[in-house]
Structure 1
Amino acid sequence: MITTDRLLLRPHTIEDMDAHYALSAEPEVYRFLAGRPSTQEETWLRLLRFVGHWSSFDYGLFAVVDRSTGKLIGDTGLAHFCRELGPDFDPYPETAWIFSASVHGKGMAFEAASAAHDWFETKTGKREAVAIINPDNAASLRLAGKLGYEAFGSATYKEHDVTTLRRTP
């Protein structure tokens, strides 16, 4: 677990299903992901993937909890998603984040993602990582820039255009 001034970051559990399903139904959350809310099955499989990362690699995406409310407000971390985007992307850990619209613009995404990156680098010794972001998602592109990511190309992932980014040592 990681504690910041306002947040608690912890591995996901199966008990996060309802909160994660509600998060995935927020238009500001799914708008740049699939363009539609996740089904319960998709949410369940994503949650199992998050839990499985921790079991297999001893790291993955963290559930991000607002310490003042105890509410799950998003997730962030680094993982291996096997997206088949090529040798410039696939071998590297990939960062990801989603956050509830209720905390957009409050610096919580940067607080959580910075803490997750610091933890990951200390644990693994790795700084280099990659990300994919919808090119229209200006807020996520700004956050990636603050975390040290730079665009290096573009790709199509699940029929959506994405910008590929890299954070180098």
Structure 2
Amino acid sequence: MIETENLRLRRPEIGDLEAIHAMRSDLAIVRFLGGRALNREEAWHRLTRIVGHWALRGYGMFAVVEKRSGALVGEVGLFDGCRGLSPDFDNAPEAGWILAGEAQGKGYAGEAAAAAHRWFAAAHGEQRSVCIIAPENLASFRVAHKLGYKSFGQVDYQNGPVVMLERIPG
């Protein structure tokens, strides 16, 4: 488990299903993630995919728990998305962050993502990482820039453009 000032980051657990479903079925939250709400079965598949990623890669998305409330308020971490976007993108760990509506605007995404990146570097060594962000997702761009990500191209993904960003340690 990773602790920050306001959050705990831990591996996802079976009890996280309802919170993941609530977050991933909120159209305001998923509008930049393909724009489609997940039903409960798809949320279950999301949870099992995250858990399986940890088993296969030794890293993945953390469940983000707010210390004050004890509520699961997001998913943050690094993973291998196998997206097929380009060799420059697909050959690096991909960072991602998603927060429930009640957790947005508090700085939690940056706090959690910075902690996840520090953990990843300690566990797997400093290395280049990537992320994709929809051009209109300004809040996510702010987080990415605080983490040191810089744009290196744009591609179409899931019926819309996304900006590819990279973070080169050093």
> TM-score normalised by the shorter chain: which range applies?
over 0.9
| Cα distance in structure 2, aligned partners of 1:5 and 1:167 | 24
* Residues 1:8 and 2:3 aligned together: no
* Off by >4 Å, runs of 4+ in structure 1: none
The alpha-carbon deviation at position 26 of structure 1 amounts to 2.2
| Cα deviation code 1:31-81 (max 9, x no counterpart) | 111212112222121111110111112211000000111100001000101
| Cα distance in structure 2, aligned partners of 1:23 and 1:6 | 19
The alpha-carbon deviation at position 84 of structure 1 amounts to 0.4
| Cα distance in structure 1, aligned partners of 2:127 and 2:66 | 26
| Cα distance in structure 2, aligned partners of 1:4 and 1:127 | 22
The alpha-carbon deviation at position 28 of structure 1 amounts to 2.5
One-letter amino acid matched to 2:64: V
Which residue of the partner structure matches residue 59 of structure 2? 59
| Cα distance in structure 2, aligned partners of 1:36 and 1:50 | 19
Q: Secondary structure at the match of 1:64?
A: strand
| Cα distance in structure 1, aligned partners of 2:126 and 2:93 | 9
Q: 1:8-47 maps to which residues of 2 (within 5 A)?
A: 8-47=8-47
- Number of aligned residue pairs: 169
One-letter amino acid matched to 1:112: A
The alpha-carbon deviation at position 160 of structure 1 amounts to 2.1
Q: Which runs of 5+ in 1 are unaligned?
A: none
Identical counterparts, % of pairs: 47
* Residues 1:140 and 2:140 aligned together: yes
Q: 1:94-105 maps to which residues of 2 (within 5 A)?
A: 94-105=94-105
One-letter amino acid matched to 1:10: R
The alpha-carbon deviation at position 122 of structure 1 amounts to 0.8
Which residue of the partner structure matches residue 86 of structure 2? 86
Q: Which runs of 5+ in 2 are unaligned?
A: none
- Give me the TM-score of the superposition, normalised by structure 2: 0.96
